């Protein structure tokens, strides 16, 4: 592994190509007060730091103490990003040590607030912004990035940031946060990661009138101009960074499905909102089999929401049902969707293309409660971005027909969740099996303690990426997401299930990601998607690829 900022001497020692203040200003190499006296003499740092040398453990204690002094979550986010900009190794060490506590800050739900305030809290540029002004020379723009061995690109156009809508260039917080999780959760080296925002304008009028908004204050590009910009970006990124995986993130429904179809068989790419969400939700259903004794093929699922996340889950569930013995049409018939106009049924006109396979024969239904009464689903999945839609009446109705109803309130951030964990447990008299997109605290109810599972995409996409890039996969396939779901479900312990939790603790996520990477690699070899020789011990191989946030010795 060779980077532009240093020369490798051996596995423990590197020689920085920078010295003095330039070295201290380089977050990839800076160790701050942890530079030894010998390193300070050799690297022109004498007198530039306080005299006492700190261990990394002492630095962690110092930054954590300062972190805990912050008054609110947004200030905590700003503090962590500043640490990442100053000392990347220390940032990831802190994140690894306190992943369950810090993940909600660096990603959902707090990253949503950070995106809304992006222009107001902006400190230092991270990543690349591409716009129509770069048309014709995106190749040169991408070459401005200092690191050349990029393996993972997360790109957004900012149109559908979490459940918050069109935030334009403010959406850069999402690729930055996702790539932090690639490193923290799967050990992808941070110097292999590149966040990109396609600044194609915004239809959010409030941003047009915000003098601190940093994106183009103009309407969104649509049609041929938009497609040409995306095409040039994909082609240029493949030329400049030929080993890079492209993860499409938070694109609007208008483009998300279309871009996935257009590029999934051309370049190493996937859409996390469609495929990653589907995989983690399917893992929850597989885990629930052990808890309630109902196989995937026996479920009737009602989705509240019919966008990219909902359809992505539906498509992967249909594949799982057919694998479990149902024919395709019967599997489709077990998945029902509600959108803003009601139940998706055949009698409706002007349905979007991605909804058509799930338009079934049924009378029109406008209200969720009426749909639950009529369809009697075993699983209710919320992917609507609309808060408080799973009312007490809806949860109670689910409980009338199911001894253990599955309630998945997956919309992000927390403020958009269809119901809270406490509501699901209380209104179901403790019978619900609950999962959410954002974190909820454990709930005490009538002498029992419930630990709500977080159906967090971070369980899936970092392992998918690690597995694909480690073995040089040429494509990401649906089978990889199915394999990831089965692997994740298999790592849920009996103790987790005893508390109603369908996912492993986040504290184990690096180990989980390594196992998922193995499952992805197995699919790549089975489908002949890589020309690299298969390592004898795939798990040991994946673990060896994982970046560890420890300081190296400098000479």
Distance between CA atoms of 214 and 221, rounded to whole angstroms? 17
Per the CB < 8 A criterion, the answer to whether 383 and 411 are in contact is yes
How many CB atoms neighbour CB 54 within 10 A? 17
Instruction: Provide CB contacts within 8 A for 292, sequence distance 6+.
Output: 403, 404, 406, 433
Distance between CA atoms of 311 and 524, rounded to whole angstroms? 25
Per the CB < 8 A criterion, the answer to whether 331 and 323 are in contact is no
Which is catalytic among the residues 67, 77, 92, 107? 107
Per the CB < 8 A criterion, the answer to whether 463 and 543 are in contact is no
Distance between CA atoms of 251 and 522, rounded to whole angstroms? 30
Distance between CA atoms of 114 and 108, rounded to whole angstroms? 10
CA distances from 14 to 1, 33, 190, 374, 528 (A): 11, 18, 17, 66, 37
Residue 269: name the closest of 468, 512, 131 by CA: 468
Three-state secondary structure call for residue 78? helix
How buried is 331 (Cβ within 10 angstroms: 0-12 exposed, 13-18 middle, 19+ buried)? buried
Per the CB < 8 A criterion, the answer to whether 358 and 333 are in contact is no
**β-pair type (433-436, 406-409):** parallel
In the annotation, is 459 catalytic? no
Instruction: Provide CB contacts within 8 A for 248, sequence distance 6+.
Output: 155, 156, 256, 259, 260, 263, 269, 270, 271, 272, 273
Q: Which residue has the tokens 């013995």?
A: 325
Q: Which helix (H) or strand (E) segment is 480 a member of?
A: helix 478-490
Distance between CA atoms of 242 and 451, rounded to whole angstroms? 43
Three-state secondary structure call for residue 102? helix
Which is catalytic among the residues 31, 76, 178, 416? 178
Q: Which helix (H) or strand (E) segment is 131 a member of?
A: strand 128-131
How buried is 74 (Cβ within 10 angstroms: 0-12 exposed, 13-18 middle, 19+ buried)? middle
Torsion angle defined by CA atoms of residues 306, 307, 313 and 319, in that order, rounded to the nearest 10 degrees: 80
Q: Which residue has the tokens 């530079």?
A: 35
In the annotation, is 525 catalytic? no
How many CB atoms neighbour CB 8 within 10 A? 12
> Known catalytic residues?
107, 178
């Amino acid at each position: 592994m060779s980077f532009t900022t240093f020369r490798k001497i051996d596995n423990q020692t590197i020689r920085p190509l920078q010295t003095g203040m330039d070295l201290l200003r380089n977050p990839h190499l800076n160790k701050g007060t942890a530079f030894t006296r010998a390193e300070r003499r050799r690297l022109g740092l004498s007198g530039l730091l306080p005299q006492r040398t700190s261990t990394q453990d002492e630095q962690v204690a110092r930054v954590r103490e300062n972190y805990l002094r912050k008054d609110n979550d947004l200030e905590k986010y700003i503090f962590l990003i500043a640490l990442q900009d100053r000392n990347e190794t220390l940032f990831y060490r802190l994140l690894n040590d306190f992943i369950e506590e810090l993940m909600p800050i660096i990603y959902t739900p707090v990253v949503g607030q950070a995106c809304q305030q992006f222009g107001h809290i902006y400190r230092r540029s991270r990543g690349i912004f591409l716009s129509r002004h770069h048309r014709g020379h995106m190749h040169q723009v991408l070459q401005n990035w200092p690191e050349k061995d990029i393996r993972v690109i997360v790109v957004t156009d900012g149109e559908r940031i979490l459940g918050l809508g069109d935030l334009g260039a403010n959406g850069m917080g999402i690729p930055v946060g996702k790539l932090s999780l690639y490193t923290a959760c799967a050990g992808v080296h941070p110097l292999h990661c590149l966040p990109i925002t396609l600044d194609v304008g915004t239809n959010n009028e409030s941003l047009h009138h915000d003098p601190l908004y940093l994106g183009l204050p103009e309407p969104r590009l649509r049609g041929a101009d938009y497609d040409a910009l995306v095409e040039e970006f994909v082609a240029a990124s493949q030329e400049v960074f030929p080993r890079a995986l492209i993860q499409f993130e938070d694109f609007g429904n208008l483009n998300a499905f279309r871009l996935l179809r257009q590029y999934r068989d051309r370049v190493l790419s996937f859409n996390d909102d469609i495929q990653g969400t589907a995989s983690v939700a399917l893992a929850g259903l597989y885990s629930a089999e052990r808890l309630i004794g109902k196989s995937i093929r026996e479920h009737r699922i009602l989705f509240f929401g019919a966008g990219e996340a909902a359809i992505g889950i539906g498509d992967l569930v249909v594949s799982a049902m057919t694998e479990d013995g149902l024919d395709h049409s019967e599997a489709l018939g077990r998945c029902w969707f509600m959108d803003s106009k009601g139940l998706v049924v055949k009698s409706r006109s002007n349905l979007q293309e991605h909804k058509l396979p799930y338009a079934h024969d049924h009378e029109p239904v406008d209200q969720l409660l009426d749909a639950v009464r009529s369809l009697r689903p075993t699983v209710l999945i919320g992917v609507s971005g609309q808060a408080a839609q799973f009312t007490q009446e809806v949860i109670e109705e689910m409980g009338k027909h199911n001894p253990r109803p599955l309630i998945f309130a997956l919309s992000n951030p927390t403020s958009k969740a269809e119901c809270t964990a406490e509501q699901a447990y209380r209104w179901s008299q403790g019978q619900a099996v609950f999962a959410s997109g954002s974190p909820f605290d454990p709930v005490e109810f009538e002498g029992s303690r419930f630990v709500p599972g977080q159906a967090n995409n971070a369980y899936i996409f970092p392992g998918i990426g690690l597995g694909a890039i480690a073995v040089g996969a040429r494509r990401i396939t649906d089978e990889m997401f199915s394999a990831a779901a089965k692997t994740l479900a298999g790592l849920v312990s009996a103790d987790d299930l005893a508390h109603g939790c369908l996912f492993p603790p986040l504290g184990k996520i690096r180990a989980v990601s390594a196992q998922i990477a193995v499952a992805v690699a197995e699919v790549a070899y089975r489908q002949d998607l890589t020309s690299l020789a298969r390592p004898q011990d795939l798990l040991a191989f994946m673990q060896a690829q994982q970046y560890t946030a420890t300081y190296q010795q400098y000479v």
